[in-house]
């Protein structure tokens, strides 16, 4: 069984448990992310879960899907508009249950697949392991918008190590994607996992370093928090520039949220 597929399932299930008590009106609440509602978040996750599953099961069908996306954008639609067309009015509890049932199915298919097999994607092809890890990262990152809007502090599990590894692996990408020279050495990163375990990368580089919570490192890498809104200890010019622009996901260079723009809302007092 591919462990990343099980981690994806568990992260998705955790988000589903958060959504389970919500009604259709609750799901229309607007998050701090680009004016997206919770419905938009779940719709986005569902569509691209379906796309990743297509790339695993049927390369021709995936290519046709990718062509539809391209044609829609060439016709002047935004990706958000394409997603709304694709969903064809499905929202609320119906959307949440459809997303839930599908991620359970697809995680089983990924778990049983060759982790090294190559799959098509919107950008460069990737391995099965990388594909499902990307879905885990997207679920965790976009899930943050929902936790924040509902005023719930997420209790992470050590499966976020997958996202921390993505953050490390996209060090060079963060610079190259902005047309900047890639530094010769990667900073030392020392993170405390949710379990208390210590994860360390590049221990030999003591000139540039990042130390602190694994959750906060992942939040910065996935651009759900500005580095200024964390307690991460950042030392050195390279580490500082990396954390100011870190981006562990594909696509054009994206500006992280401004300080104070993404936060967990306080729950209304009971009674």
Which DSSP helix (H) or strand (E) runs through 44? helix 38-57
What pLDDT does 123 receive? 84
Confirm if 120 and 66 have CB atoms less than 8 A apart.
yes
- Cα Rg of the chain, angstroms: 19
Q: How many CA atoms lie within 13 A of 35 on its CB side?
A: 1
At 60, give phi and psi (nearest 5°): -70, -40
Taking a C-beta distance cutoff of 8 angstroms, is the pair 51, 65 a contact?
Answer: yes
pLDDT below 50 — which residues of the chain?
A: 269-271
* DSSP per residue, 196-238: S-EEEE-TT--SSEEEEEHHHHHHHHTTSS-GGGS--EEESHH
CA distances from 179 to 175, 182, 249, 256 (A): 7, 9, 16, 17
Q: How far is CA 172 from the centre of its chain?
A: 18
In this prediction, residue 260 carries a pLDDT of: 97
Domains of the chain: 3-154 (1.20.120.450), 162-245 (no CATH)
Sign of torsion over alpha carbons 219, 160, 132, 10: negative
Terminal Cα distance for the chain, rounded: 47
pLDDT at 147: 98
- Secondary structure class of 108 (helix, strand, coil): helix
pLDDT at 1: 87
| pLDDT for residue 108 | 98
pTM score > 0.75 for this model? yes
Burial class (CB in 10 A: 0-12, 13-18, 19+), 194: middle
Strand-pair category, 188-192 with 209-213: parallel
């Amino acid at each position: 069984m591919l462990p990343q597929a099980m981690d994806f399932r568990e992260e998705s299930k955790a988000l589903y448990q958060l959504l389970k008590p919500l009604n259709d009106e609750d799901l229309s609440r607007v998050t701090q992310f680009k004016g997206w509602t919770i419905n938009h978040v779940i719709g986005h996750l569902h569509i691209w879960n379906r796309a990743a599953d297509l790339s695993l099961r049927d390369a021709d069908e995936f290519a046709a899907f990718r062509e539809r996306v391209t044609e829609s954008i060439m016709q002047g639609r935004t990706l958000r508009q394409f997603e709304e067309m694709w969903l064809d009015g499905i929202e609320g509890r119906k959307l949440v249950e459809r997303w839930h049932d599908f991620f359970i199915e697809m995680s089983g298919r990924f778990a049983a697949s060759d982790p090294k097999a190559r799959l098509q994607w919107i950008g460069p092809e990737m391995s099965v392991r990388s594909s499902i890890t990307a879905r885990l990262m997207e679920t965790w990152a976009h899930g943050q918008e929902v936790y924040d809007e509902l005023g719930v502090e997420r209790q992470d599990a050590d499966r976020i190590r997958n996202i921390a590894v993505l953050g490390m692996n996209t060090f060079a990408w963060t610079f190259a994607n902005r047309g900047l020279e890639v530094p010769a050495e990667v900073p030392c990163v020392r993170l405390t996992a949710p379990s208390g375990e210590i994860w360390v990368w590049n221990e030999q580089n003591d000139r540039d370093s990042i130390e602190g919570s694994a959750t906060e490192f992942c939040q910065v890498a996935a651009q759900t928090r500005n580095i200024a809104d964390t307690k991460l200890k950042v030392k050195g010019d390279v580490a500082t520039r990396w954390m100011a622009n870190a981006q562990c996901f594909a696509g054009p260079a994206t500006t992280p949220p401004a300080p104070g723009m993404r936060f967990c809302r306080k729950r209304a007092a009971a009674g």
